[in-house]
Chain A
Amino acid sequence: MPKDHGIGASIKRREDVRFLTGTGNYTDDINIRGQAHVYFLRSDVAHGRLNKVDTTAASAMPGVIRIFTGADFAGVGGLPCGWQVTDRFGVAMKEPGHPVLAQGKVRHVGDPIAAIVAETLEQARDAAEAIGLDIEELPAVVDMKAAIKDGSALVHDEIGSNLCYDWGFVEDNKAAVDAAIKGAAHVTTLELVNNRLIANPMEPRVAVGDYHRATDESTLYTTSQNPHVIRLLMGAFVLGIPEHKLRVVSPDVGGGFGTKIFHYAEEAFCTFAARKLNRPVKWTSSRSEAFMSDAHGRDHVTKIELALDADHNFVAIRTETYANMGAYLSTFAPSVPTWLHGTLMAGNYKTPHIYVNVKAVFTNTVPVDAYRGAGRPEATYQLERVIDKAARELGVDPIALRRQNFVREFPYQTPVAVVYDTGNYDATMDKLIEMADMAGFPARRAASEAKGRLRGLGVNCYIEACGIAPSNLVGQLGARAGLYESATVRVNATGGIVVMTGSHSHGQGHETAFPQVIAEMLGVDESLVEIVHGDTARGPMGMGTYGSRSLAVGGSAMVRAAEKVLNKAKKIAAHLMEASDQDIEIKDGRFHVAGTDKSVAWGDITLAAYVPHNYPLEDLEPGLEETAFYDPSNFTYPAGAYACEVELDPDTGRVTIERFAAADDFGNIINPMIVSGQVHGGIAQGIGQALLEGAVYDDNGQLLTGSYMDYAMPRATDVPFYSVDHSCVTPCTHNPLGVKGCGEAGAIGSPPAVINAVLDAMNSGGIKIDHIDMPVSPARVWAAIQTAKA
């Protein structure tokens, strides 16, 4: 029988009640007395010299309080980049400045030029139209390969090139990889595009800056996945405000998917302007602004070669990727195509020789940074596509080819730096075959064919590195931050518990799942435990939520703090019962002296801690509150196998997803209901990437997909019910909960399954094709069919 409380129970989410009754507190719901509104005048050209910004007439418009331009930020820091990549030759990446408001040049459509602060948003917007701009338009840099040829226009003149870095990984492996490929029995080569995506959390970004002159304290309310990180980056590098005078609050946040990790100009501006004007300043992004100012994701152009020996063992992988950075380096952009991508290129397979080359390129487009999966979907997609292509070329079963090359001994040292601690890829594949009813596929294909349709089955595996990340390791790799997490467990006098976590929940259900862990450890009911997050004034320094790290790192910190609480509680209990703390055990919510009928309740202990009349004051401090910081010793490695079944109409090119199955190994599970929900959402985003989504720029750097009219978001009719399973468990070996993380898996594992299925369908209908790029829109599929027929 499933558990109804503690670890492993599908407890309904407590946060739902406020969200279902319209009583959540999202940042745009915050209005501070006296607040002014800011509207950003943004560049409508991709690349240009900013000769003049004339604000004279606009400043006299009704309601205008002040108009800021780049000149107002002279002497103020630019937006910092949090990760420095070193290239193949040992040279640091090119790191051009990123001003809060454009200075000298505009570099992408949407680049903010002026900020108009007015009494109302409408007044600010009206005044923006009266600003005189003299922009000398320059040739736009859009295509990555053209961008790094001699003679290209330069996004940043001062660095002399559009190449941010040329990274080789592992550079010392290159000669061996080249030799292995040269001598291989078979080499399969695939060139593909990992399409540019826009994360599109349903809540647009919002920033409200507030300032109290009497205390010199600034507060920023912002839609962030990591308020402490914003406080550090903005305070230390942009505005020069020390942490004790700067509070960052991220209340209910309506989805993140990576794009709310980063420190953005609008946050810095609202904080800066609130101080300058001594009044609150609010910005709410419109969706149109979000399309041209939220960091985008993916956008890789890749060539991958997979070399196999005569027995079909993988012997080498070599990749060359062009990764778009956009116009400026967003907070973690350099790490995504490198350390979050190259390190996963081994996938689930034992390939002895791997070399990854990545050229990161500046273009006149919106900055590109982490989006759900961040680098790992790009690695998985190319690898799982090239394996299917190899299977087709060799005439072997794609599942058998994968199985033959699975890693089966753990820990496994990959040739790309990371060590997989544990896994069982056969188990998830076995489970998948059962869930996807592969035995029934031929009959379903026949039924589709009887209707004049084609049916395809696509399968792939994936592995990801989560629980980001060991600080000493990422420090060596160029991270400018530590990636630990913190938790404070505060037990109150009457027994209630407040856990302050540095993790941030923006849909993941921490307020429900984290108490399950505490309740299990301390033998109390979940209802006694409250989670506090998202406010730098209320908890210790934390690093936030991304990279499927909340439970693996934040949960581990919470466990460590709770262990300290438990140890102290046992000592208090031992004192109250005149026993040894070694003999105290928890049973049915009470602290017992083992082997006796003596026990005390949780509330007896907590009251004694705060009313220490009968208390070992010589040995123990009063109170019951502990803090822990947890820094993991390794990444975690969730893995699994996914299957997609599509039907394809050869007359129209329309592809529909008929079935989707996902077998994941996430290690131990705290709340299975929440985990399934995370996988569902990830799969929908992966299906979106494969079938629908794609940010498109024209040759002039104009964003053609700038609204929901043009950028196809997955809707309820685009997806089926998914079959998901996470019963294959190999617990993580190095964190106290044995958990691995589940937030990104769906988005990582699903795109190759969809495309493999589409290609399977086409080939089954005699359409000989070995590649099609995402998104596989009807037009693209139809054109491919016509080309193949010709």
Chain B
Amino acid sequence: MKVTMTVNGATCSGEVEGRTLLVSFLRDTLHLTGTHVGCDTSQCGACVVHVNGRAVKSCTMLAAEAEGATVATIEGMADADGTLSPLQQAFQDHHGLQCGFCTPGMVMSAAALLAENPKPTEHEVRHYLEGNICRCTGYHNIVKAVLAASGQDLPAVAAE
């Protein structure tokens, strides 16, 4: 079947099977390989994208279900000239990534958190990111990066 959706502001169409997952459509059909697959039980969160403004694990949604939807992926986060978004920049500034594999999902989840809750506490950040597994950072610098991106005074909210 044919599906059409808006991905990172552009209208995209492609042929899919009924069983094609949204993540497969993004990676294999649209070649947007920034969205990653880290598990097969919807646990790791490497595949998180935004569908109609909400964070979704794209391994848990069929491409067909996204017909007509507005999808945002990590490739659309930076400005057109390559300038990183404040959240992406905070991840770099605070060393919130190492191998980078969980990073796209982590950034997309964190962006959804900040959209819902612009000034989260440390506890709220950790709780919101529970569906995103990172094996490299021990979460320390990810939590710091998200708190920093929220514009809060980091030493005050993230005492080490």
Q: Mark A587-606, 1 if CB is under 8 A from B, else 0.
A: 00000000000000000000
* Contact assessment for A716 and B33 in the assembled complex, using a CB-CB cutoff below 8 Å: no
What B residues does A200 contact at CB under 8 A? 135
Q: Which of A146-197 contact B (CB under 8 A)?
A: none
Q: Which of B100-126 contact A (CB under 8 A)?
A: 100-104, 107, 122, 125-126
Q: Is B160 an interface residue (CB 8 A)?
A: yes
9-residue interface stretch from A14-22, A137-145, A228-236: A14-22
* Contact assessment for B99 and A507 in the assembled complex, using a CB-CB cutoff below 8 Å: yes
9-residue interface stretch from A516-524, A613-621, A680-688: A680-688
Q: Which of A708-742 contact B (CB under 8 A)?
A: 708-709, 713-717, 719, 721-723
Q: How far is the CB of B87 from chain A (nearest CB, A)?
A: 9
Q: Mark A660-698, 1 if CB is under 8 A from B, else 0.
A: 000000000000011011001111110000000000000
Q: How far is the CA of A486 from the CA of B86 in the complex (A)?
A: 39
Q: Is A765 an interface residue (CB 8 A)?
A: no
Q: How far is the CA of A707 from the CA of B41 in the complex (A)?
A: 7
* Contact assessment for B133 and A202 in the assembled complex, using a CB-CB cutoff below 8 Å: yes
* Contact assessment for A707 and B88 in the assembled complex, using a CB-CB cutoff below 8 Å: no
Q: How far is the CB of B144 from chain A (nearest CB, A)?
A: 8
Q: How far is the CA of A709 from the CA of B40 in the complex (A)?
A: 10
Residue of B92, B93, B130 touching A715 (CB-CB under 8 A): B130
* Contact assessment for B99 and A715 in the assembled complex, using a CB-CB cutoff below 8 Å: no
* Contact assessment for A677 and B129 in the assembled complex, using a CB-CB cutoff below 8 Å: no
Q: How far is the CA of A287 from the CA of B102 in the complex (A)?
A: 14
Q: Name B's interface SS.
A: loop
* Contact assessment for A257 and B135 in the assembled complex, using a CB-CB cutoff below 8 Å: yes
Q: How far is the CA of A746 from the CA of B138 in the complex (A)?
A: 10
Q: Is B12 an interface residue (CB 8 A)?
A: no
Nearest residue (CB) in B for A713 is B133
Q: How far is the CA of A203 from the CA of B43 in the complex (A)?
A: 14
* Contact assessment for B141 and A16 in the assembled complex, using a CB-CB cutoff below 8 Å: no
Q: A507-B98, A721-B158 are in contact. Are A709 and B135 (CB under 8 A)?
A: no
Q: Is B63 an interface residue (CB 8 A)?
A: no
* Contact assessment for A681 and B98 in the assembled complex, using a CB-CB cutoff below 8 Å: yes
9-residue interface stretch from A23-31, A416-424, A536-544, A575-583: A23-31
Q: How far is the CB of A147 from chain B (nearest CB, A)?
A: 31
Q: Is A105 an interface residue (CB 8 A)?
A: no
Q: How far is the CB of B129 from chain A (nearest CB, A)?
A: 4
What B residues does A17 contact at CB under 8 A? 84, 92
What A residues does B143 contact at CB under 8 A? 716, 721
What B residues does A709 contact at CB under 8 A? 41, 43
* Contact assessment for A707 and B139 in the assembled complex, using a CB-CB cutoff below 8 Å: no
What B residues does A717 contact at CB under 8 A? 126-127, 130
Q: Which of A550-593 contact B (CB under 8 A)?
A: none
* Contact assessment for B136 and A681 in the assembled complex, using a CB-CB cutoff below 8 Å: yes
* Contact assessment for B34 and A22 in the assembled complex, using a CB-CB cutoff below 8 Å: yes
9-residue interface stretch from A51-59, A247-255, A294-302, A334-342: A247-255
Q: Which of B50-85 contact A (CB under 8 A)?
A: 73-75, 77-78, 82, 84
Q: A200-B135, A288-B40, A681-B136 are in contact. Are A20 and B98 (CB under 8 A)?
A: no
* Contact assessment for A253 and B140 in the assembled complex, using a CB-CB cutoff below 8 Å: no
* Contact assessment for A21 and B74 in the assembled complex, using a CB-CB cutoff below 8 Å: yes
Q: How far is the CB of B53 from chain A (nearest CB, A)?
A: 19
What A residues does B40 contact at CB under 8 A? 286-288, 707
* Contact assessment for A683 and B77 in the assembled complex, using a CB-CB cutoff below 8 Å: no
Q: How far is the CB of B108 from chain A (nearest CB, A)?
A: 10
* Contact assessment for B36 and A722 in the assembled complex, using a CB-CB cutoff below 8 Å: no
Q: Is A656 an interface residue (CB 8 A)?
A: no
Q: How far is the CA of A721 from the CA of B132 in the complex (A)?
A: 17
Residue of A21, A29, A255, A508 touching B77 (CB-CB under 8 A): A21
* Contact assessment for A202 and B134 in the assembled complex, using a CB-CB cutoff below 8 Å: yes
Q: How far is the CB of A32 from chain B (nearest CB, A)?
A: 14
* Contact assessment for A722 and B95 in the assembled complex, using a CB-CB cutoff below 8 Å: no
What B residues does A288 contact at CB under 8 A? 40-41
Nearest residue (CB) in B for A717 is B126
What A residues does B159 contact at CB under 8 A? 721
* Contact assessment for A20 and B97 in the assembled complex, using a CB-CB cutoff below 8 Å: yes
Q: Is B11 an interface residue (CB 8 A)?
A: no
* Contact assessment for A254 and B160 in the assembled complex, using a CB-CB cutoff below 8 Å: no
Residue of B35, B136, B160 touching A721 (CB-CB under 8 A): B160
Q: Mark A504-515, 1 if CB is under 8 A from B, else 0.
A: 001111000000
Q: A202-B46, A202-B133, A707-B40 are in contact. Are A19 and B138 (CB under 8 A)?
A: no
* Contact assessment for A22 and B35 in the assembled complex, using a CB-CB cutoff below 8 Å: yes
Q: How far is the CA of A313 from the CA of B150 in the complex (A)?
A: 53
Nearest residue (CB) in B for A708 is B43
For the A-B complex with A22-B104, A721-B143 known, give 12 more contacts whose Cβ atoms are closer than 8 Å: A19-B104, A22-B73, A201-B101, A202-B102, A287-B38, A507-B100, A509-B98, A684-B138, A707-B39, A708-B44, A717-B126, A719-B138
**Chain B contact residues, CB within 8 Å of chain A:** 19, 32-41, 43-44, 46, 73-75, 77-78, 82, 84, 88, 91-93, 95, 97-104, 107, 122, 125-127, 129-130, 132-144, 158-160
A-B contact pairs, 11 of them (CB 8 A): A28-B33, A28-B37, A201-B135, A202-B44, A254-B38, A287-B41, A677-B136, A680-B141, A681-B137, A684-B139, A716-B129
